[in-house]
Amino acid sequence: MISQSSRFFKGLQLGGNVYWALFLRLLLAMFLFMLCRIGFFLYNLSYFPEMTTWNFMRILWGGFWFDLTAVLYINVIILILSIIPVDLRFRAGYQTTIKVFYYVLNGLALAANVMDFIYYKFTLRRTTADVFDQFENESNLFSLFFRFLIDYWYAVLFWLLLMWIMVKLYNRIKVQGPLMQHRIAYYVAGVLAIPLIVGLFIGAVRGGFRHSTRPITLSNAGEYVEHPNEVSLVLNTPFAIFRTLGKTKIQKIKYFTDEKELSEVYSPVHTPVDSSAFRADNVVVIILESFSKEFFGAFNQDKPGYRGYTPFLDSLIQHSRTFEYSFANGRKSIDGLPSVMASIPSLGVPYVLTPFANNRINSLGNLLRDKGYHTSFFHGAPNGSMGFSSFTNLAGIDHYYGKTEYGNDADFDGMWGIWDDKFFSFYADKLNEFPQPFMSSIFSVSSHHPFVVPEEFEGKFKGGDQPILKCIEYTDYALRRFFAEASTMPWYKNTLFVITADHVSSNIVFPESHTTWGLFSIPVIFFKPDNSLAERSASIAQQIDIMPSVLGQLKYDKPYVAFGHDVFDSTSTSFAFNYRDDIYNLYEGEYLLMFDGKRTISLYNFVKDRMLQQDIKKPDKDVAARMEQKIKAIIQQYNNRMVEDKLTVQ
């Protein structure tokens, strides 16, 4: 009897066992993902200044579960091929097929993780599935890809090191068999193993085995962090992409059941009460690529000896309305344009990538076009880049001018578009041809990776520690030339100029620039040639304030929807909001509230506590409660109006 039983189970050993080999292969992928997380942290160390050893260990533990889910998703083919109970799986050719799948699938996953070493600085979050939509209109993807490979060679080298480790360790995992000599036992065990492994797989990707357990999502990462910005350390990029495929975060919400109460807390409907006659001033909106407030001398006078890199804009600021605290509503160019031109922010997903991007909207384009304005938009990139031509068309802007309309490829920078000084000169000339009144906007391109200036300006700009700084000086110089040329033209004196940025640069060095509020700090500047707007305001401004503020200056007389407020209206309360790592940030007065959609995470006095080190949500609970009500109202108004197509006054 003992002899028969021994013969039945002969071959049950770990070495060479196909299931043990599968376990080791998955474990290897987990190990490589962990190395990616450590590399991600070290490369972006300056973005996590408050990290402690204990907190990092907690993040690694949380990351283990997200890595497990991602690794199982990625290797599901390897898993299926490994557990089919047939002798074929032990043959060399079959194992070679599994190896190829393993290298390709896990190699791509590691590449996605390493890519975010770099891309995180631009978005401050893990890359999600909307990245595929974001770049679908780019005609220069291959040139961009190879340029990034060259410029970020160290990231490529790290990926190659990971691949070398993968190949080296994978080849040490051997499969022999079938090891069980008893054929009935072999097939019975193989069949019984399938539901067991499938059950373990389902439990692992869901994050637990309880019936009440919901599948693990991006928001679960918040359980393992002390600060909201650390969520990206817990996550991995493949997981973030998988979990956002085909999904939108914009769904109807009901924090408030009473519509009157909701509107009393916050309403995006603007109903002008000023009976003054409409003023048909020209409007020029200049959106500068990656112009952080950090780059300006005028905004950093508290730093002894710091002169900044924008001498022309610093001089213009002395004659303009500017703000002590001014913020972007997103982290990408495609976030910036709808915010500036249509007062539509991005909360989680860029507006232009949502299923609601074809909604009827108000914008400076269509509202002023109805007042008889000539409307235009200028972007020196290849036509269609970033989907700007599509958005501006929907926003009622009749005339689009890109690289094609410029008509001289000799001034193309080879990467992003026409050099700023050339395109701004072209812009001034075209404005002089337009009938008045006109509303026009231009989006610059040159202050962008790979951070080069035209050969004729090599050595002209001092630059600094960050490679972008000479480009900032160059674009500032291009603006100086533009204003010098425009000031000689007949339309100049009757024009309201607005200057802002699309988002903050990834090349920032000031400690406060890496805080939640610092990572959104951009200029918002209103200028009129008669100096009538000159004032440094202590209030808050944001990108979505630009449209209602321009309309207020023009004495626009019809109701419209805008999520910002008129910064020139002393009767309204200034505020700003944005979204980062599944956290809503609301700025009002001296306070910054962080809200995760269900509860207040923290409250800071960001004016006095610039590094956000003291959470005051408990001692200032009344402030936290009031601000939580407001951010809830903002979210509900935004989501519900988006879903119901109510972004205009019916």
Q: 76 to each of 63, 91, 167, 585, how far by Cα in Å?
A: 20, 20, 19, 38
What is the predicted pLDDT for the residue at 484?
98
**Residue 28 burial (CB count, 10 A):** 20
Domain co-membership, 141 together with 176 = yes
197 pLDDT higher than 50: yes
pLDDT at position 7: 45
Quick one: pLDDT band at residue 548, thresholds 50, 70, 90? very high
Average pLDDT over residues 20-32: 92
CATH of the domain at 470: 3.40.720.10
Q: Is residue 579 part of a domain?
A: no
Tell me what pLDDT residue 418 has: 96
The mean pLDDT of the chain is: 88
Q: Is the pLDDT of residue 19 over 60?
A: yes
Q: Do 337 and 223 belong to one domain? A: no
Per DSSP, helices labelled H in 500-584 are: 546-553
Q: Which of 506, 545, 547, 543 is nearest to 523 (CA)?
A: 543
Domain boundary among 550, 570, 590: 570
Rounded Cα gap, residues 14 and 103, in angstroms? 23
| pLDDT the model gives residue 151 | 82
Residue 207 has pLDDT above 90, yes or no: no
Per-residue pLDDT band at 206 (split at 50, 70, 90): low
Q: Which two tokens stand for residue 159?
A: 């990926």
- On whether residue 256 sits in a domain, the answer given is no
The Cα–Cα gap between 269 and 407 comes to 42
Percent of the chain topping pLDDT 70: 88
Over range 560-575, report the average pLDDT. Answer: 94
How many Cβ atoms are within 10 Å of 23's Cβ, its own excluded?
A: 14
CA atoms within 13 A on the CB side of 229: 20
Average pLDDT of the residues in 595-600: 94
Whether 400 and 434 map to the same domain: the answer is: yes
Question: What letters, b where the CB count within 10 A reaches 16 and e where it falls short, cover 132-151?
Answer: ebbeebbeeeeeeeeebeee
Domain boundary among 551, 570, 589: 570
Q: Is 14 helix (H, G, I), strand (E, B) or coil?
A: coil
Both 110 and 28 in one domain: the answer is yes
- Pair 238, 276 in one domain: no
In this structure, the answer to whether residues 215 and 274 fall within a common structural domain is: no
pLDDT of 479 strictly over 90:
yes
CA 120 and chain centroid, separation: 8
For residue 647, give the 3-state DSSP assignment: strand
Separation of alpha carbons 56 and 51, rounded Å: 7
Q: What is the pLDDT of residue 2?
A: 43
Pairing of strands 591-595, 600-605: antiparallel
What phi and psi values does residue 310 have, to the nearest 5 degrees?
A: -130, 65
Q: What is the mean pLDDT of residues 618-643?
A: 96
Report pLDDT for 351.
85
CB 321 within 8 A of CB 535: yes
Indicate whether 65 pLDDT > 70. Answer: yes
Q: Is 584 helix (H, G, I), strand (E, B) or coil?
A: strand
The H-or-E segment that residue 315 falls in is helix 311-317
Same domain, 298 and 195: no
Cα angle, residue 473 at apex, residues 467 and 476 outer, rounded to 5°: 140
Pick the most confident of 136-145, 204-213, 232-241, 492-501: 492-501
Q: Are residues 539 and 432 in the same domain?
A: yes
Q: State the pTM of this model.
A: 0.78
pLDDT at residue 449, as a whole number: 86
> What pLDDT is recorded for position 91?
85
Contact between residue 304 and residue 550 where contact means Cβ atoms under 8 Å apart: no
**pLDDT, tens only, 410-439:** 999 988 999 999 999 999 999 999 999 999
Asked whether the predicted pLDDT for residue 4 surpasses 90, the reply is: no
Enclosing domain of residue 410: 270-570
pLDDT tier at 193, thresholds 50, 70, 90:
low
Number of domains in the chain: 2
DSSP 36: H
- Helices (H) and strands (E) counted in the chain, each on its own, are 21, 14
Considering the chain, what percentage of its residues have pLDDT values greater than 90?
64
Does 56 reside within a domain? Answer: yes
Q: Tell me whether residue 597 is in a domain.
A: no
Same domain, 171 and 310: no
Residue 601 included in any domain: no
Average pLDDT over residues 46-54: 88
CA dist 628 and 545 (Å) reads 21
pLDDT band at 534 (very low <50, low <70, confident <90, very high): very high
Which one of 527, 555, 570 terminates a domain? 570
**121 half-sphere exposure, CB direction, 13 A CA radius:** 19
pLDDT of 138 higher than 90: no
pLDDT of 215 = 62
Q: 365: left (phi > 0), else alpha (psi -120 to 50), else beta?
A: alpha
Q: How far is CA 34 from the centre of its chain?
A: 24
User: Which pLDDT tens digit goes with each residue over 344-402?
Assistant: 998 878 888 776 887 889 999 999 999 999 999 999 999 878 888 878 988 989 999 99
DSSP secondary structure string, 474-495? HHHHHHHHHHHHHTTSTTGGGE
Give yes or no for residue 211 having a pLDDT over 50. Answer: no
DSSP 419-469: -HHHHHHHHHHHHHHSPSSEEEEEE--SSSTT----GGGTTTS---SSTTH
Residue keyed to tokens 């020139």: 568
Residue with more model confidence, 519 or 92: 519
Tokens representing residue 357 in the block: 């991007």
- Grouping H, G, I as helix, E, B as strand and the rest as coil, residue 141 is helix
The answer to whether residues 274 and 195 belong to one domain is no
One domain, residues 112 and 157: yes
Given a cut of 70, is residue 133 above it in pLDDT? Answer: no
What average pLDDT does the segment 463-486 reach? 96
Identify which has the larger pLDDT, 450 or 526. Answer: 526
- Assess if residue 629 is contained within a domain: no
State the pLDDT at residue 450. Answer: 87
Are residues 325 and 427 both part of a single domain? Answer: yes
pLDDT-derived band at 6, boundaries 50, 70, 90:
very low
C-alpha 352/C-alpha 337 separation (Å) is: 10
Would residue 611 count as lying in a domain?
no
Rounded Cα gap, residues 506 and 467, in angstroms: 11
pLDDT of amino acid 21: 87
Q: Does 339 fall in a domain?
A: yes
- Give the whole-angstrom CA distance, residue 299 versus residue 502: 18
